[in-house]
Amino acid sequence: MKAIIEHNHKFIKIDLLKPLDISIPLRASKSNVNAWYIGAPVIEPVKTKDWTGSVKAGADVNFNNIQFNPHAHGTHTECIGHITEEFHSINKNLTQFFFTAELISVAPEKFMKDTVISKHQIELLLKDKTPEALVIRTMPNTKDKKSRQYSETNWTYVTEEAMVFLREKGIQHFLIDLPSVDREHDGGKLLSHKAFWDFDGDRRMHCTITEFIYVNNKIIDGSYMLNLQIAPFENDASPSKPVLYKIFE
């Protein structure tokens, strides 16, 4: 079903029947994607003295508790509250959910003992486009990203210079298939997070960073509409389900 939506005084045609989900599902398994040195998510029936919340165990319904960390266990969207002393909620700060988006694929560059996404790479691929959201798929792009155990791997990160460039270009929402935009061990500097949100300047309260996405190789680079769906948690971050829609001329 193709629909024409008005967005920022422009009419954009998308096919609502062909969503392109770029989230990673959360599973109660040791093979669930993981970072930040904690155990796997837990999904298990509520148990009381004389009742277990499982149809298989004889209950009328399945009634599970879920224990997980949004930053460590899958696709999540965070606001500036992730790095502030004062509390800021993603549920309060993200109030719009459809955005123009550009998807680019980037092969990380070597930098000393690290691998990084640089300003030069993003600038070269983004060219003169000014979408509201930027989605980065790092290369190579293999399915093991959906189950990789990232702790102590010194993952690829985005340079501070690149995040300043995105901020100055007006990118409001940044999505990437890594556990963090910052270096795994950075001494708590969080330079890339701070640069994107302009932490020491005019803080961009409505802007978000989404990490731990997975973009299937069948989804080609280009322009899309992004529906950024979150669970309504009053927390700095929430598990999320970003969905892309191809734009038709």
Instruction: Give the per-residue pLDDT at 3.
Output: 80
Flag whether the pTM goes above 0.85: yes
Instruction: Point out the residues of the chain with pLDDT beneath 70.
Output: none
Q: Which CATH class is domain 2-26+73-248?
A: alpha beta
pLDDT at 4: 86
What strands, in cross-sheet order, belong to the sheet with 109-111? 109-111, 114-117, 157-158
- In this prediction, residue 10 carries a pLDDT of 83
pLDDT score recorded for residue 19 = 97
What is the pLDDT at residue 248?
Answer: 87
Per-residue pLDDT tens over the stretch 214-226: 999 999 999 999 9
